[in-house]
Structure 1
């Protein structure tokens, strides 16, 4: 890539099928073509000279489709999903996020009614792991009907992972803020573990897949923190103020790993 647009060599190589280009060059030019009409026109012209067989095939397909498209009813404008929203959320994330808010409200009601687990706030107990499950839902093959298409798109790397993670946090954190404020739980007690486990999910996800990492960490949290806390009715050290420095270190390490291995999220299947 040179300047703001791909070089002529890259455009012509991509028109020939990209076999003589590096993988990162192919991904970069595909991502650029999505937003640059000028380079799409350059590619169209290059296809005609570099791959005439492809140009002929496209022309044949288009000549067959054009009459059908002219008589095909289009979707009403009001029912189309905003393009900006689709970059942050998937259709299946909406009911899941609503369920998360419901879990927070239910835990809050138990805390206020005094039917929780002794001195332990249920909001505090479940707060750190809820965003982790949200990240898993946002990348679940079974929940996203467009998973294969999304995971193979040029922009399916770290930026898309971070956008979906931010959308989860944008819904979960305000709900937890309200729950923590009502129950009197200190914000840092749940927010720092929440962010640390989310960062750890993304860091581990670069190696085994985001969904697998989220499920694994949620299982560990349930076995190591939730079960003993409910059994003893005592706040685990992980949720006490003395454990905050450990969570801060875990957050820093997780963030560092994500930045250092940001290229791993562009590999097909890394987000499974």
Structure 2
């Protein structure tokens, strides 16, 4: 340090990120740079930045470079989590198996189809994979981006629904399942996962809702061979109210997804 400004060598070491700079000198440099525009100007472009670049340039020539992503891949990555691909494939496989089992056999004549039993929770699996710490290894990178938060969550959720809903439409048409019977529960469970996810984490919310559905609806339906009241026409207003409530909670707690807690 000179009487008033850091010397060239000290600035050069600071720009390189030298870890051997004494703590008191490092603090003095950073404190000085906060108030001295002239010294901040010395960091770039001359002479310190050029000196650092002269050392880095030869190394960069021998460093493997990442292949630039194709435009369509960049656009796809803005909507779908890289880890969601296998889960979406699994969802399609589960839908196909449900249709196949419906075609081969049924619980009892005229009973609820397996497609109806699995339809409400299928998108929940994709949503958990799209925005969950346990299932997305890149969750920290996604959560740290400026576009993270509810907009990114909704975008990835929309991508999941864009795959799940058409597959369920085809499955419903193949098995004769009514659109009104599965679409509202499907959307209500998706909204419920995000609403509860803002409190306990999306992955935990997904596991909880799937477990509740399996115990309260799937198990009694299979055990009693009787159509659940959840699929009756009278239940449609209930599902609509659950969907509206989930959307309201998401709107009120929209900032929850900017915190890493929502990624659990």
- What's 1:153 paired with? 145
Partner of 1:87: 78
1:79, distance to aligned residue in structure 2 (A): 6.7
Instruction: Compare CA radii of gyration and give the structure with the larger one.
Output: 2
Equivalences for residues 121-140 of structure 1 within 5 A: 121-140=113-132
Relative to the length of structure 2, the TM-score reads: 0.77
Change (3 A) 1:155 1:115: same
C-alpha spacing 1:236/1:81, structure 2 compared with 1 (3 Å): same
Contact 1:117/1:230 (<8 A) preserved: no
TM-score, length-normalised on structure 1? Answer: 0.75
Distance 2:108 2:211 in 1: 20
Pairing 1:25-36 to 2, within 5 Å after superposition: none
What residue number does 1:74 align with? Answer: 65
Q: RMSD of the TM alignment (CA)?
A: 2.7
Aligned length: 226
- Is 1:175 the counterpart of 2:163? The answer is no
- Structure 2 residue ranges without an equivalent (≥5): 1-33
Residue 78 of structure 1 and its aligned partner are, at CA, apart by: 6.5
Query: What secondary structure, in the 3-state scheme, does the structure 2 residue paired with 1:82 have?
Result: helix
CA distance in 2 between counterparts of 1:54 and 1:216 reads: 57
Q: Deviations over 1:20-44 (max 9, x none)?
A: xxxxxxxxxxxxxxxxxxxxxxxxx
| Gapped regions of structure 1 (runs ≥ 5) | 1-45
Q: Which residue of 2 aligns with 1:240?
A: 232
1:83: how far off? 1.9
Change (3 A) 1:142 1:205: closer
